[in-house]
Structure 1
């Protein structure tokens, strides 16, 4: 008797029949029979051409979320991928055995999150943020990647690592938490979705630092003759803010650094509060990082006997709280920068009195920063320490190493002291590294905020 039994459907055929339009499955994929794929309502899974997935692996795509696996991706045995916002794995990436990708966490069981006290694991809800793995990246055995992390193109993550913060392209990272160990000259790979950090500076002329500019003065191939005259074409912002922006761009060339400097010469805290409010009203900009510093003109105006412009400590304190309260609503990280001390702008006794008063304003700024969850960068100590050790002016009045050009505004040396403190502070707190992560949001908010990142990986209208 001849058997007419039909051959068992392939894994690809079974999955297409089971999930319909919720699954986009490419050609020539190598999928195991025991592959578990769970796709909830409104979710979508895209698997590119020539993807290989080994036995014992699971892919969960929860309500509304997206998982997009590029072409020529290899996924090892017993790997677990679970998305509530979105996970993207770039072309040619490799996940070794027992890799775990979860783009979500349980929220803490606070009274606000669980008002009824219900004792079930999901009662507190979830928070989520995308996981993005770049083209050509390799994750070794038993690597765990947490929510909000970007792993750059060609990156190599060592076995057993826990990747809790983003990893740059062309980088070897190992450990718990995973830390960059070295970089290399990476092979060509698509650099998708360049991340841009928006950095705002609000302060006085110490942040604004205008310099006269003529294009010929900056062109090494066409410098003007010594003794000739050039015309000032424009004022440009330079100083420590400009140099810090260059430093960030050099250290993070794969990241866009969008610097917006709202420093204004002569501004008091009263003026800067207005600048912050006007910026929000006119541009609506959300900032990844804000550096805020003011107070020196609040004090100086009183000693100049310009009493209508002076700002006393109580009013200054109100202004700093107002600015921090507003900025906290649309800035991921705020750093309040202390004012630099006064130099020899008056006789020594008056300068001592001015600095004693300015120190009180800095203390108020430190307290306000703590109250609003901002960081405080204290440059006062390093600045005064440097000033003590610099060579004083000689008998001819020449000043070979002053931090101040006029007792208030900074020389290039003063700018460098401030720059070094800012760079060290950002590095110690790993501020840029943490800002490169996607912020965790409540589950539905994450779907709304991050959905556009995955739109091209879903069928039109889904």
Structure 2
């Protein structure tokens, strides 16, 4: 890949002579004399106008890959770029000294990847995903960026950071792995198209959580008089799912969250399996993230003596595995959420029996999740702990009650679920990983 043209030529002339149509080079570029570019067959490198590239830099564009460097970009000394899929650096971005951009990683040396056992570093092959630096992004000295990462417009990555997951626009990120330390009001800069994450919820009324709506009830400047009557104009979905959607949108305002809540009141696993199948058949939606949880009605119907609607544990397990089999084919990440326990809906002894049975269904859901590489969110333990420490339920107006009726949740119960969901998302950095480009 090293040039053999005359040293008397400018760097731009040398590169044009070496690579011809595989290189698109803009005007007024400041390219170091020792810039060593490698462009394999079928690859392409684009360098925009007024790009500065200092000494010791080495861009390598491997077979079939593309690198696109925008206008007014500054690349510091001893910067290394190695590309198998693609890298795009937006206008006005800066890449400081001694930094490393690799859009690929070695695959593990499994028997499937290296069936012959060949002992060479590249025998297992590579997993690759593009890297994007949006306009105005700045990488400080000695920063490493790994495959699949997108760094937002105006973002500033501090020295010595390792960026292994995407960074939001208008933020300062530092550390290993790099994490956002603070946000700022970013200067005007061209913005990439907004990313969209589609999040689905499949479950019972605890996910659906319908509330009656009249516009006047929520208009602070035009609230109805106390004692007056209003007409229910419709239903809105609220509860922990609605609040989680608001939390996601507030935490990642540069991302569009397409929330699809398929919760249905009274649904058993039998019903929800039909909902999952029908959703795929009618909409064909691919999901980035799905929350799946059911079982409380499967158990409750038996204790209500509604035996035709009740679902025993074996049938429940079959439905749950079928849903996970199907969802795994078009969902990037699945979170199975346990059911919340029954509250004071019957005599204490009956409630205890109901919860003993429901816990068996939660155990089956946890096993199904593990078998399908899905996360399992156990809200049972924190929910019962909160119920133990809070005041005994005294009706739906009791601020210490987690349940409005022993099954459906109050705002306090919803908050317990919300906190557990947010904690799981944060611990596993799920949204950050979903914002990365897949390999």
Normalised by the size of structure 2, how large is the TM-score? 0.94
**1:174 to partner: Cα distance:** 2.0
* 1:241-295 per-position Cα deviation (integer Å, ceiling 9, x unaligned): 0000000110111111111111111111111111112222222222111111000
Kindly indicate whether residue 84 of structure 2 is the aligned counterpart of residue 84 of structure 1: yes
Counterpart in the other structure of 1:425: 424
Q: 3-state DSSP class of the match of 1:221? A: helix
Distance (whole Å) between structure 1 residues aligned to residue 410 and residue 193 of structure 2: 39
Counterpart in the other structure of 1:279: 279
Greater shift in the superposed pair: 276-285 or 207-216: 276-285
Counterpart in the other structure of 1:247: 247
* 1:19-57 per-position Cα deviation (integer Å, ceiling 9, x unaligned): 222222111111122212222233221111110001121
Counterpart in the other structure of 1:107: 107
Is residue 129–residue 148 contact of structure 2 (8 Å, CA) maintained in 1? yes
Is residue 87–residue 103 contact of structure 1 (8 Å, CA) maintained in 2? yes
Q: 3-state DSSP class of the match of 2:367? A: helix
CA spacing shift, 1:398–1:214, aligned 2, 3 Å: closer
Distance (whole Å) between structure 1 residues aligned to residue 414 and residue 396 of structure 2: 22
Q: 3-state DSSP class of the match of 2:31? A: coil
Greater shift in the superposed pair: 374-383 or 220-229: 220-229
CA spacing shift, 1:13–1:316, aligned 2, 3 Å: same
Distance (whole Å) between structure 2 residues aligned to residue 179 and residue 356 of structure 1: 42
Superposition pairs of residues 42-81 of structure 1, within 5 angstroms? 42-81=42-81
Distance (whole Å) between structure 1 residues aligned to residue 381 and residue 130 of structure 2: 41
Counterpart in the other structure of 1:306: 306
Greater shift in the superposed pair: 356-365 or 36-45: 36-45
CA spacing shift, 1:274–1:335, aligned 2, 3 Å: same
**1:383 to partner: Cα distance:** 1.2
Is residue 147–residue 164 contact of structure 2 (8 Å, CA) maintained in 1? yes
Q: 3-state DSSP class of the match of 1:97? A: coil
- Which structure 1 residue ranges, 5 or more long, are not aligned? 1-5, 441-462
Distance (whole Å) between structure 2 residues aligned to residue 393 and residue 362 of structure 1: 24
Counterpart in the other structure of 1:348: 348
Greater shift in the superposed pair: 203-212 or 278-287: 278-287
Counterpart in the other structure of 1:410: 409
Superposition pairs of residues 230-269 of structure 1, within 5 angstroms? 230-269=230-269
Distance (whole Å) between structure 2 residues aligned to residue 31 and residue 198 of structure 1: 43
Distance (whole Å) between structure 1 residues aligned to residue 396 and residue 97 of structure 2: 71
**1:397 to partner: Cα distance:** 9.9
Normalised by the size of structure 1, how large is the TM-score? 0.90
**1:205 to partner: Cα distance:** 0.5
* 1:419-443 per-position Cα deviation (integer Å, ceiling 9, x unaligned): 1111122112221122221122xxx
CA spacing shift, 1:127–1:7, aligned 2, 3 Å: closer
Distance (whole Å) between structure 2 residues aligned to residue 126 and residue 278 of structure 1: 38
Q: Which has the higher contact order (CA 8 A, sep 6+)?
A: 1
Distance (whole Å) between structure 2 residues aligned to residue 392 and residue 177 of structure 1: 44
Is residue 392–residue 400 contact of structure 1 (8 Å, CA) maintained in 2? no
- Which structure 2 residue ranges, 5 or more long, are not aligned? 1-5
Superposition pairs of residues 22-61 of structure 1, within 5 angstroms? 22-61=22-61
